[in-house]
Amino acid sequence: MGAPVNSNLLELYRTMRRIRTFEERVGELFIRGQSAGSMLHLSIGEESSAAGVCAAMKPQDTFTTHHRGHGIFLARGADPGQMMAEIGGKETGYCKGKGGSMHIADMALGHLGANAIVGGGIPAVVGAGLSSKYLKQDSVSIAFFGDGAMQQGILYESMNMAALWDLPVLFVCVNNQYGMGTRIDQATRSSRFDERAKAFGLNGAVVNGLDVEEVEAAARWLVDDARAGKPGFLSVEVYRFFGHARMDKSPYRSEAEEVEGRKKDPVLFARAKLIADGLETVAALDAMDREIAAEMDATIDFAVESKAPPLSSMFRDVYAVGEPEPEPVSARIDRVLARDDA
């Protein structure tokens, strides 16, 4: 059998490799003590969900992510330097250092915001979908969340409303098998999450995240139908390679389980498929990987060399233009003490 003529697997591989390498550099930034805050969550092992779904989106589409959303934003076209600067709490970041790892947003790329609350970003896409339908914008809004959010009531309220109003919305569960330290089979009797969505009247599918092309194919069907007013739900089954957060050594998993789970590597699977199908050579892929590594190395340098936001910018972009900024507590105390001295 010959290699598929119109395959875009190479581009999907590039996206996943960029995500994987970026996340590795994020972990390095954390170890060096140069990330903002004490928590960040890597999506290593989940790259196919980001690359496959985002490949099915159009420029006008919008989305929300969860606390593990670096890869999704990168797949959507984010600049990795700006992302790393945001994770480092620097003013050159997407939110000028105020969002950090878990609250990145960028309206220009349709990113309605990441959310550290489990399921917190889901209802926003219902509003975005309603807006798109009312204004006839031909855009789809996608909510990305983890399997932990499958036990959140807001998801079911949102799916019900999306189905009831025929909204251009897609719900994407990145099922990495663990909600923090709780394995999925200890949280729910059935992991056929698509059946829950179908009960509300949505399209539903479950796909193995090992093969990014399968993810993309399922996403294209669901996104196209959502654009036509039939909302959908997609569960991408992957394996979270590391602990819940960077400091979590996952004591709740055996070493044997982790070794077996990490064999489900969508990046290596895509690479092997490219070579086997004759779509690319080992040498060419090695060269691409080195180029990506150099690109992501530069993100650390950019983040470290960027300046932290000045304290005076604390309330900037928080209040509407023209609204007076509140007086910082320290300034108010200084003013009161100065008056008393007088």
Q: What is the mean pLDDT of the chain?
A: 93
Given a cut of 70, whether residue 340 has pLDDT beyond it is: no
Are 34 and 69 spatial neighbours (Cβ–Cβ below 8 Å)? Answer: no
The proportion of the chain whose per-residue pLDDT surpasses 70, expressed as a percent, equals: 97
When pLDDT is cut at 50, 70 and 90, the band that residue 63 belongs to is very high
In tens, the pLDDT along 85-141 reads 999 999 999 999 999 999 999 999 999 999 999 999 999 999 999 999 999 999 999
Residue extents of the structural domains in the chain? 9-310
- Can you give 10-64 as a three-state secondary structure string? HHHHHHHHHHHHHHHHHHHHHHCCCCCCCCCCCCCCCHHHHHHHHHCCCCCCEEE
Note the Cα 288 to chain centre separation in Å: 23
In tens, the pLDDT along 308-321 reads 999 888 888 888 88
pLDDT at 20: 98
The whole-number average pLDDT for the span 211-225 is 98
Q: Please tell me the pTM assigned to this model.
A: 0.91
pLDDT at 190: 85
**Whole-number Å distance between alpha carbons of 271 and 194:** 29
Domain spanning 9-310 has what CATH number? 3.40.50.970
When pLDDT is cut at 50, 70 and 90, the band that residue 6 belongs to is low
Given a cut of 60, whether residue 24 has pLDDT beyond it is: yes
When pLDDT is cut at 50, 70 and 90, the band that residue 3 belongs to is very low
